[in-house]
Amino acid sequence: MIRSRLSSTIERRLLVNYRVAPYVAAALLPAPLRPQLVRGQAVAGICLLRIGGVRPGWAPAATGLTSENAAHRISVEWDGPDGVERGVYIPRRDTASRLNAFAGGRLYPGEHGRADFTVREDADAVSVAFATRDGEVAVDATVEPAGELRGSELFTDLAEASEFFRLGNRGLSPNAGGRHLDVLELSTDAWKVTAGRPRSVRSSFFEDLDRFPPGSAVLDSALVMRGVPADWSQGEPFRLGCGAGAAAAAAAAAAAAAAAAAAAAAAAAA
């Protein structure tokens, strides 16, 4: 993969957030990742991103490309060598760009599926809808600007929400090889989000009852970013495996199974 930094401008980014039952979110994560909890809930959502001027860091902005993209994400943490680390697990990335679909996972981190986007923007609202070419995912979200973040059960105010997402700047996504996750890191000196209010949101991903049982994923809030210069760089591949949390869970499950077997044997002997 290309190691050079990519420069860009986040022209528009909608962060549509769901609060999710921790056990449901955990079931969607590879070890050693675990859900990052806020007030007892996991945080997941959809990032709807129009990014412009994407180019190698040394190239002039005029040579950059613009595209519509989407990522389904779950905020995660894991035990690193220096303590707990954090980021977002991205089970699926989609794009309107043929180039992104070709280059993702080959030339830079993050495999992308193809999708068709419809975008409508005016002073009152931003609407982004897309459907993936493979028929697996469809999203239709309309977000209104808001002066304050209201109605969220995850975040007390805009400042808290902004800091939460600023610190989760590493995206980890599946790789075709299956032994590690690709890592893409976002950096900016001009981080700024504003509050939004979800007017309507439909997501086949979060409405899939096989993935999210009834009531386990609830729409919580929305944030908006505009005109933010941002750089993207490849992080070290994240090795998959049985982390401490997964090992403990496996040990507990094995112990429970052994206890059940012993009880059954005792009952049979009696």
Does residue 245 surpass a pLDDT of 50? no
* Shared-domain flag, residues 250 and 155: no
The predicted structure's pLDDT at residue 105: 79
* Shared-domain flag, residues 127 and 162: yes
* Shared-domain flag, residues 198 and 117: yes
Does residue 59 lie within any of the structural domains?
yes
Reduced 3-state DSSP string for the chain:
CCCCCEEEEEEEEEEEEEEECHHHHHHCCCCCCEECEECCEEEEEEEEEEEEEEEECCCCHHHCEEEEEEEEEEEEEEEECCEEEEEEEEEEEEECCHHHHHHECCCECCCCEEEEEEEEECCCCEEEEEEECCCCCEEEEEEEECCCCCCCCCCCCHHHHHHHHHHCCEEEEECCCCCEEEEEEEECCCCCCEEEEEEEEEECCCCCCCCCCCCCEEEEEEEEEEEEEEEEEECCCEECCCCHHHHHHHHHHHHHHHHHHHHHHHHHHC
Domain region containing 152? 6-239
This model's pTM is above 0.75: yes
Percent of the chain with pLDDT strictly greater than 70: 88
Does residue 60 surpass a pLDDT of 50? yes
* Shared-domain flag, residues 47 and 113: yes
* Shared-domain flag, residues 14 and 50: yes
The predicted structure's pLDDT at residue 246: 43
- Read off the pLDDT of residues 111-124 as tens digits, 9 standing for 90 and up: 899 999 999 999 99
The predicted structure's pLDDT at residue 262: 41
- Read off the pLDDT of residues 153-201 as tens digits, 9 standing for 90 and up: 999 999 999 999 999 999 999 987 788 999 999 999 999 999 999 999 9
Does residue 184 lie within any of the structural domains?
yes
The predicted structure's pLDDT at residue 109: 82
* Shared-domain flag, residues 46 and 174: yes
* Shared-domain flag, residues 197 and 210: yes
* Shared-domain flag, residues 128 and 191: yes
Does residue 233 surpass a pLDDT of 80? yes
CATH number at residue 223: 2.40.400.10
Does residue 77 lie within any of the structural domains?
yes
